[in-house]
Amino acid sequence: MTMKNLTLALALLLQLSLFGQSTFPFDIVLEPITITNLPGMQSYAAAQHNGKWLIIGGRIDGLHQRQPWQAFNAAGHNTSMYVIDPVAQTFYSAPLSGLSNDTLVAQLSSTNANFTQVGNYLYLLGGYGLDASAVHITHPMLTVIDVPSTIDDIVQGGTLDSTAFAHFSDEDFAVTGGKMLYLNGTFYLVGGHRFDGQYNPMGHNTFTQAYTEQVLPFTVSGTFPSLSISKGTPMVDTDELHRRDYNVTYMMDGSQTYFTAWSGVFQKTANLPFLNAVEVRDTGIYSVPGFSQYLNHYHCPTVSLYGEDQAAMYTVFFGGIAQYYYDNGVLTQDNDVPFVKTIGVVEKRNGSYSESYSSTEMPGLLGAGGEFFPDHNLAANGEIFLADSLGTDTTWVGHIFGGISSPGANIFFGGMTNNSIASPTLFKVGFVRNSGLGMLESNYGDNLGLLVSPNPSNGKLIVQIQSQLQGMTAFEVFDTTGKLVLRTEVPTKDGANTIDLGALQIAAGKYVLTATQGGARQSINFIWN
């Protein structure tokens, strides 16, 4: 590694987590790559072939505006297809206007479509944007794209050939912000919502919205482009699948492969992310008991690794948007749900999930709406890396591209959305066996499920804690200088506790609350009004 290539070595010095010490065996290396004149893109669909990436749709601007007449406007639509060669560090493009079908062109320029690649074909479903009449809709379409042919057309002539596209209309496919995965011959459309009309954050009657609250299985048969679709029986869960704009990843458990849906938005009773994870299996939909995902709540690049010798599954999340982040090693809650730099890791071992985080962060407020492009020569099933096969030297597992680059954590409510951009930067992603730098002391570990509500306070300090034993729990409040300003002990029962610490006799400002129970200790930031 040299200063010349600006390599960012992100040593994942992982903390203790809900079920004990993390055993994630790798440090992470991020190497930024700049391709001259490559535009930034976020929330796009993607495929790859022979080392080249195909980029379709998404936005070429940053976070959407609050003003309905500016949000998701035509100027921010990606109206070209791009081919990126990360090795040669060059790119090619072709305008969608070269296709004669206006309905197809409209869908291919949409944002937050559901997509997955199977062999040489990219399956792109739904997406939100403008239809051929310039009306905002969620597109009720599935489009199948011949990836090698389309890449060749763009690279060789800068044009698109309509024979490389097959598309089907179906109202059940009008979904945006969900995830589509493929397993054992079947496609699974997981969650998401249908959003038609003009975005409006003030709740005015300019749109209709309906969450799918289901997993829709379907199959595609025939020989391209003469294809047919057969839909299966949806798996419905009106509580656990009422979510969108999240991550859904492949998981391995011995010889079994399934999916886990991570966090997402919004809870039915609050405009906040879900904190639980949901397993999607052939036998049904299962909320993961006893686990809270505090980090990386919105869609962001992810990398999955399976350690056969360790019988562990690791999912790494790069940045994005979340309700919680770490401030000098203290778990901090922000109900405005800001952009974050956090690299989080969730480990599943012996059926139990645990979460940890990196002491080193993403090089900016990056990740939201970006994608990870795995090296298919290394990844099992194209998506999961076998951790046991990665050596002691750096193994380059793929690249991260695009997403939103934000100038501040909370720009949506501060009128700064026009200062965010779609990131044009690529990051080469590598894993290297732990360098022996050691582990951090834990604030997060011995996780007591410590929460403060509301935060900022409204005159009382209400604390939620998941006690691991029956006895006394000590609560300490420190100011920003580290001075102890309050200490009290409260009896707690085994299990969930809600404790009213009352109206604190302290000045308005930012504080740290620390809970200590036996040998377990956890801290959280809060704001006292």
Q: Is position 144 within any domain?
A: no
Q: Is position 506 within any domain?
A: yes
Q: What is the DSSP string of 325-357?
A: EEETTEEEE-TT--EEEEEEEEEEETTEEEEEE
Q: Is position 494 within any domain?
A: yes
- Nearest CA to 366 among 428, 422, 294? 422
Total domains in the fold of the chain = 1
CA torsion, points 296, 298, 302, 306, in degrees to nearest 10?
A: 70
Q: Cα angle at 103 between 98 and 105, to 5 degrees?
A: 35
pLDDT per residue as tens, the chain (529 positions): 332 333 333 333 333 333 334 567 888 888 999 999 999 999 999 999 999 999 999 999 999 887 888 889 999 999 999 999 999 999 999 999 999 999 999 999 999 999 999 999 999 999 999 999 999 999 999 999 999 999 999 999 999 999 999 999 999 999 999 999 999 999 999 999 999 999 988 777 899 999 999 999 999 999 999 999 999 999 999 999 999 999 999 999 888 899 999 999 999 989 999 999 999 998 899 999 888 899 999 999 999 999 877 789 999 999 999 999 877 777 888 999 999 998 999 999 888 898 888 766 899 999 999 999 999 888 866 789 998 888 778 899 999 999 999 999 888 776 666 689 999 999 999 988 875 332 323 333 446 778 887 777 778 888 888 776 677 888 888 776 667 788 888 888 877 888 888 888 888 888 888 887 765 677 777 888 7
Q: Is position 465 within any domain?
A: yes
Distance CA 455, CA 111 (A): 33
Domain ranges, residue 472: 451-528
- Nearest CA to 367 among 429, 281, 289, 439? 429
Q: Is position 461 within any domain?
A: yes
Q: Is position 112 within any domain?
A: no
- Nearest CA to 268 among 213, 188, 322? 213
**Contact, 111 vs 128, CB < 8 A?**
yes
Q: pTM here?
A: 0.82
Q: Which residue in this structure is represented by tokens 């400002």?
A: 509
Distance CA 126, CA 128 (A): 7
Please state the length of the chain.
529
Distance CA 436, CA 13 (A): 9
Q: Is position 415 within any domain?
A: no
**Contact, 264 vs 273, CB < 8 A?**
yes
CATH number of the domain encompassing residue 474: 2.60.40.3080
Q: Is position 485 within any domain?
A: yes
**What Cα–Cα distance (Å) separates residue 409 from each residue in 494, 506, 528?**
37, 27, 20
Q: Which residue in this structure is represented by tokens 């139990």?
A: 352
- Nearest CA to 20 among 349, 344, 314, 475? 349
